[in-house]
Amino acid sequence: MRLRPSRPVVAALVALALAGLLAGPGEATIVVPVPEHELVLEADAIVVGRVQRIESEWDPAARQISTWITVAIDEVLKGDVATPEVSLKQAGGTVGGLRAWVHGSPEFRRRENVLVFLSESPDGSLRVTHLYQGKFSLSTDPVTGETLARRDRAPGVLVLPRKGGAPAVDSWTLPALKEVVKAWRSSRRSRGSLGQRRPAVAAATTQEAETFTFLNPPARWFEPDSGIPITVMTNRAGEPAAPGGGFEQVREALAAWTIGPESSLVLRDGGLTDAVGLRYDGVNSVSFRDPLNQIQPPSQCGGVLAIGGYYAVAQTTVVGGRTFYRIVDADMAIADGWEGCQFYDDRENLAEVLTHEIGHMVGFGHNTDPSATMYPYAHFDGRGATLTAADRAGLVFLYPGVSTVGPPPVRTLTVTRTGSGVIASTPAGISCGTDCAGGYDDGTAVQLVATPAAGWELAGWGGACGGAGACTVVMNGDRAVTATFRLAARPDLVVTAVNDPPATVGRGGRFPVRDTVANVGGAPSGAITRARYYLSATGTQAAGNVLLTGSRAVGALAPGAGSSGTLTVTVPLNAPPGTYRLLACADDTRLVAESDEANNCLASAGSVVVGLPDLVAAAVSPPPASLARGGRFQVTDTTRNQGDAPATSSVTRYYLSADGARDASDRLLTGYRMVPSLAPGAASTGTVTVVVPSTTVAGAYFVLACADDTARLVESGGANNCVASPTTVAVGP
């Protein structure tokens, strides 16, 4: 759905017989035009290139179809793009017999030259900024030879009026559009490197295509032909900014499309639901606040206000001489962030918008009658949830009155499964498990969802369904489906190499570790994991192991791939003394479900002795016989590490002591010696000049040399650091 811009925009949907109201498979969208300079500000990157690949993907966990468009880059106009090509993710596409399309999506064709504005999605993938508004197709003018950049207005879009600001322009020369980008690209800092990040999708089904374009033929619900109503539910969160939360406006919009015996369409309010967003989940829903982050936030009250519509399957029927696919699921999502823009906070305006969007959800396109609610521009004239004569004429054409009466026949759906897993149905009736058959009214579209047991995956469907993606069975007769589960391929992360530790190390000591982590399983690890390191007396993962400080991030690994790295680890101060092997453990925080969780660790061949240093002052030179207060003399001392672990650098200081034992009455001499790191058994001898304090009381004193006198180290012996000179010095006035 679109807001009326400052100059007319022609709807890109061909008018059909009677009312021009027939839409193709997909979703409808409400748009407020965004001028090019705001697109430049919003985009994280802008590139010129050529479409290389188009691949649609069914995500069984999200219940969504997305399409990846890969563009080989010729020129980067904005942003830090680290690769020679980018892959864009757009909602919709075709996988097997299931089709989905978001009205307002940019269309792409293989080998097409394009200029695209790119924004980063919450899942880390890239998408075109504000749907079709951020994509320009490039071509050569046959007369002038200039390169032209054209934005194609997307079908099925309702335009709302933009309040102030420059209008969007759809046709440019490429140099002129580049000048706009150049003028505005530095006004807002772009993101950092936008390298390729295509999130892994478990058990995804993919299908390549030549185009990503609006789908034909059009679609409609088949249930009204058998007198079956279509139930639509509203997410219970509602819209806090809308009068009454928007619930009554949804009910009014549904009621507007139910006009009585002249049309078979009956839309039933199903109440509240926890279902959210646009997903093929068997629940027809209206959601506010874009709960699945499927819509880019607005810019200056411009952008995409709502998306809505349906999934369709390739089963067909003919109405009024036209062929239609079958709609099997319909949803609408209203965007977040439009407070203060006077769209969904006006009761009648919101009701009109909802009525228009629900029309798209049941298969209607745009009406060429300017008075119609299904006209491509919003009226905002206070009409609320109403249909005009033109809308009603199209409704009667698309859903003519039902000529038969009585309940539809009941058809039986039977499910057979092999392996370990459960199959459930929407509508309810099958939970196989235990209940593997159900009865459904003729014409009902039954969605089957397979949930594998832990360690299993769906290998594929058989019978009335095929492939390993979505399974929807239309019950126009008795049907049988088989579901085959198999043991799932999983990653298996192991450490294949780790270096030997040093022979000795003290508590608080540091040493380097180099290790290699490999994926020896049959599936990608799909996540960044962490390798951690231990001191292990047994060389295995056990309760008494000592966790070293420091871990290494290991990127996602494909089967057979590996990652090597080096880091420095620290021994905890409370590590028990003893002899240990170094143990390296892959995915030690258990982020990845693996085929074998017991083979993650590898111990070093060599061992390390963990202990504590013990610094002692082994000797100190005799002082001169006498000195005046403030006098200076040289001291030579030896500091030895008699512990069983290396000692880091330390400080030796010197005192005058009346009794040769260190206590609080001793006078600190000015001057100290830095002692280097000492291995066990090593010693350091040095000479420094010290000064007698001028306030020293006259008398005879020994000279004390005290190792590690600033207590920088944790030692095994704490009371043996000082040694006294063999003779005394007389300190006088």
DSSP state of 263: B
Say what the pLDDT of residue 403 is. 42
Q: Which residue has the tokens 């439009």?
A: 338
> Tell me, what amino acid is at 48?
V
Q: How many CA atoms lie within 13 A of 207 on its CB side?
A: 18
Question: Per-residue pLDDT for 2 more than 80?
Answer: no
- Residue 166 phi/psi, 5-degree rounding, is -75, 145
Which DSSP string do the residues of 665-693 spell out, in sequence order?
A: TPEEEEEEEEE--B-TT-EEEEEEEEE--
Question: Per-residue pLDDT for 365 more than 50?
Answer: yes
Higher pLDDT, 164 or 696: 696
Say what the pLDDT of residue 21 is. 40
Joined together, the tokens standing for residue 268 give 């039933």
Lowest pLDDT segment from 95-99, 146-150, 574-578 = 95-99
Q: Do domains 31-212 and 615-731 have the same CATH topology?
A: no
* Helix, strand, coil % over all residues of the chain, rounded to 5: 10, 45, 45
Closest to 450 (Cα-Cα) out of 439, 467, 440, 441: 467
**Distance (Å, whole) CA 11 – CA 356:** 15
Which DSSP string do the residues of 295-318 spell out, in sequence order?
A: SPPPBTTBEEEEEEEEEEEEEEEE
Question: Per-residue pLDDT for 703 more than 90?
Answer: yes
What are 316's strand-pairing partners?
325
pLDDT, one tens digit per residue, over 56-111 is: 888 887 788 889 999 999 999 998 888 899 999 988 888 877 888 777 788 999 99
Residue 410, C-beta contacts closer than 8 angstroms, at least 6 positions apart: 439, 440, 441, 442
Closest to 21 (Cα-Cα) out of 374, 529, 418: 374
How are beta strands 410-418 and 479-487 bridged, if at all?
Answer: parallel
Say what the pLDDT of residue 280 is. 84
pLDDT, one tens digit per residue, over 658-675 is: 999 999 999 999 999 999
> Tell me, what amino acid is at 669?
L
CATH class in words for 493-611:
mainly beta
**Distance (Å, whole) CA 502 – CA 513:** 10
Neighbour-count burial of 148, counting CB atoms closer than 10 A to its CB (0-12 exposed, 13-18 middle, 19+ buried): middle
353 contacts 375 by C-beta, under 8 angstroms: no
3 state DSSP class of 563: strand
Helices (H) and strands (E) counted in the chain, each on its own, are 5, 44
- R_g over Cα of the chain: 38
75 contacts 39 by C-beta, under 8 angstroms: no
Say what the pLDDT of residue 186 is. 66
**Distance (Å, whole) CA 316 – CA 318:** 7
pLDDT, one tens digit per residue, over 8-59 is: 222 222 222 233 344 333 345 666 778 888 889 888 999 999 999 999 888 8
* Angle CA 314–152–56, to nearest 5: 35
Higher pLDDT, 7 or 489: 489
Closest to 33 (Cα-Cα) out of 210, 147, 161: 161
What are 331's strand-pairing partners?
285, 309
DSSP state of 398: H
Q: Which residues of 455-474 are buried (b: 16+ CB within 10 A; e: fewer)?
A: ebbbbbbebbbebbbbbbbb
Q: How many CA atoms lie within 13 A of 374 on its CB side?
A: 32
Packing angle, helices 347-361 and 247-256, rounded to 10: 50
**Distance (Å, whole) CA 417 – CA 484:** 6
Residue 220, C-beta contacts closer than 8 angstroms, at least 6 positions apart: 317, 319, 324, 325, 326, 327, 362, 363, 398, 399
- 361 Rama sector, left if φ>0, alpha if ψ -120 to 50, beta otherwise: alpha
Q: How confident is the model at residue 702 (pLDDT cuts 50, 70, 90)?
A: very high
Closest to 26 (Cα-Cα) out of 217, 263, 257, 282: 217
3 state DSSP class of 175: helix
35 contacts 109 by C-beta, under 8 angstroms: no
What are 97's strand-pairing partners?
none
**Three-class SS string for 325-360?**
EEEEEEEEEECCCCCCCCCCCCHHHHHHHHHHHHHH
Average pLDDT of the chain is 85
Diameter over CA atoms, the chain: 128
Joined together, the tokens standing for residue 394 give 């199209």
**Distance (Å, whole) CA 168 – CA 523:** 47
**Distance (Å, whole) CA 697 – CA 727:** 18
Q: How far is CA 284 from the centre of its chain?
A: 26
Dihedral of alpha carbons 702, 703, 705, 709, sign = positive
pLDDT, one tens digit per residue, over 307-348 is: 877 888 878 889 888 888 899 888 888 888 777 776 777 888
- Say what the pTM is: 0.50
Joined together, the tokens standing for residue 106 give 């940019």
Query: In the chain, where are the structural domains located?
Result: 31-212, 220-398, 410-484, 493-611, 615-731
Q: Which residue has the tokens 């004429």?
A: 393
CATH for 615-731 is 2.60.40.10
Question: Per-residue pLDDT for 417 more than 70?
Answer: yes
* Angle CA 613–616–620, to nearest 5: 155
End-to-end CA distance of the chain: 100
Joined together, the tokens standing for residue 407 give 């309940």
Say what the pLDDT of residue 204 is. 53
Helix H or strand E segment including 611 = strand 601-611
CATH for 31-212 is 2.40.50.120
As a whole number, mean pLDDT of residues 182-195 equals 60
Q: Which CATH architecture has domain 220-398?
A: 3-Layer(aba) Sandwich (3.40)
Which of 210-224, 371-385, 413-427 ranks highest by mean pLDDT?
A: 413-427
